[in-house]
């Protein structure tokens, strides 16, 4: 069977690099603003330049483009709406135009922040009601794909794991803080289903392989609060969970409103892929055996 050729935008980010790390799953091409993406063929491109994006898609001629480029700092989106629109909407407009002209499939990664967090977990047909600039712009980006013949939107949430050279994330921050004896506060009123980043990456490739169309939700199989997540993470790695204190979201003084009782139902995705997402415990077991994690955090290796 001929390998899929997939162009990944935002190739140096957390999700982008996790996709490029799936050796043998596809023929990978990365693109973004930085100069490299490891051993993968990489193109440096300004994704807000429509002509440059069109030329890149024509030159690389992928089967699919998976767009992971985004501004995901939700408070920063409130502070700089222009930059947030540039990253979360204008790039998608350019990709949609290029893919529409060439017949290349386009997959847009979206978020549970399109919901208000009143009645989660949510199925794909649930009504949207974003509470923040970030959620509004991601919902707008979803709608840009509606006229394309080959298009998929995948909403996801609460990514965790370890991907080298992508900076700190909640997983590594918590492990380093608690192992160092630092007390941390974690929200106990935000609900969701944490998603192991490589599980999401494999699901995205699977949807491309199945030539899926439309809207899908992808989240882990465990529904929990962020505080419960932190406690389980600490206990799994034999750390002092007494250092993890609960805090209410409203006490934090955040700029962007968060959906509190969120979460995503994954029935549609499971029907297409023939498997369920990993539970949080299963994801932690994968993390503890990941060779890159074991190399860079040997004290937590299993």
**Exposed, middle or buried by CB within 10 Å (0-12, 13-18, 19+), for 298?**
exposed
Percentage of residues in the chain having pLDDT higher than 70: 97
Tens digit of each residue's pLDDT (9 = 90 or more) over 12-66: 899 999 999 998 899 999 998 765 555 667 788 999 999 999 999 999 999 999 9
Residue 149's pLDDT band, with cuts at 50, 70 and 90, is very high
Tokens of 28: 């990978």
Annotated active-site residue 42? The verdict is no
Tens digit of each residue's pLDDT (9 = 90 or more) over 160-177: 999 988 877 899 999 999
pLDDT score of 289: 95
The answer on pLDDT for 134 being more than 70 is yes
Q: Which residues, 6 or more positions from 264, have their beta carbon under 8 angstroms from its beta carbon? A: 112, 120, 121, 122, 155, 156, 157, 192, 193, 217, 218, 219
Residue 129's pLDDT band, with cuts at 50, 70 and 90, is very high
Pairing state between β 224-225 and 191-192: antiparallel
Give me the mean pLDDT over the 127-132 stretch: 98
The answer on pLDDT for 73 being more than 80 is yes
- DSSP H or E run through 44: strand 41-44
3-class DSSP assignment, residue 128: coil
Residue 301's pLDDT band, with cuts at 50, 70 and 90, is confident
pTM of the model: 0.96
DSSP 252: G
Half-sphere exposure of 74 (CA within 13 A, CB side): 20
The answer on pLDDT for 101 being more than 70 is yes
Q: Are 26 and 5 in contact (CB under 8 A)?
A: yes
Give me the catalytic one of 134, 160, 162, 198.
134
Nearest CA-CA partner of 212 in 286, 272, 277, 171: 272
């Amino acid at each position: 069977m001929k390998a899929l050729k997939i162009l990944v935008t935002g190739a140096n980010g957390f999700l982008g690099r996790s996709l490029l790390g799936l050796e043998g799953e596809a023929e990978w091409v990365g693109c973004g603003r930085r100069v490299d993406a490891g051993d993968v063929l990489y193109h440096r491109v300004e994704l807000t330049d429509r002509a440059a994006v069109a030329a890149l898609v024509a030159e690389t001629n992928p089967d699919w483009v998976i767009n992971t480029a985004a501004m995901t700092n939700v408070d920063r989106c409130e502070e700089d709406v222009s930059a947030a629109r540039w990253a979360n909407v204008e790039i998608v407009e350019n990709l949609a135009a290029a893919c529409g002209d060439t017949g290349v499939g386009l997959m847009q990664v979206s978020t549970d922040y399109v919901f208000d967090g009143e009645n989660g977990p949510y199925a794909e047909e649930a009504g949207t009601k974003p509470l923040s600039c970030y959620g509004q712009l991601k919902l707008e980006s979803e709608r840009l794909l509606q006229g394309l013949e080959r298009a998929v939107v995948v909403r996801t949430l609460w990514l965790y794991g370890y991907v080298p050279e992508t900076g700190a994330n909640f997983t590594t921050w918590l492990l380093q803080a608690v192992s160092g004896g630092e007390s941390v506060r974690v929200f106990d009123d935000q609900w969701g289903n944490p998603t192991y980043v490589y599980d999401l990456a494999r699901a995205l490739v699977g949807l491309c392989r199945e030539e899926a169309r439309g809207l899908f939700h992808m989240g882990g199989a465990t529904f929990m609060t962020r505080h419960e997540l932190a406690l389980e993470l600490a206990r799994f790695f034999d750390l002092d969970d007494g250092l993890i204190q609960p805090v209410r979201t409203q006490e934090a003084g955040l700029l962007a409103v968060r959906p509190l009782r969120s979460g995503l139902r994954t029935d549609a995705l499971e029907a297409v892929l023939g498997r369920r997402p990993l539970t949080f415990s299963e994801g932690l077991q994968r993390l503890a055996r990941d060779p890159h994690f074991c190399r860079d955090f040997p004290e937590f290796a299993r």
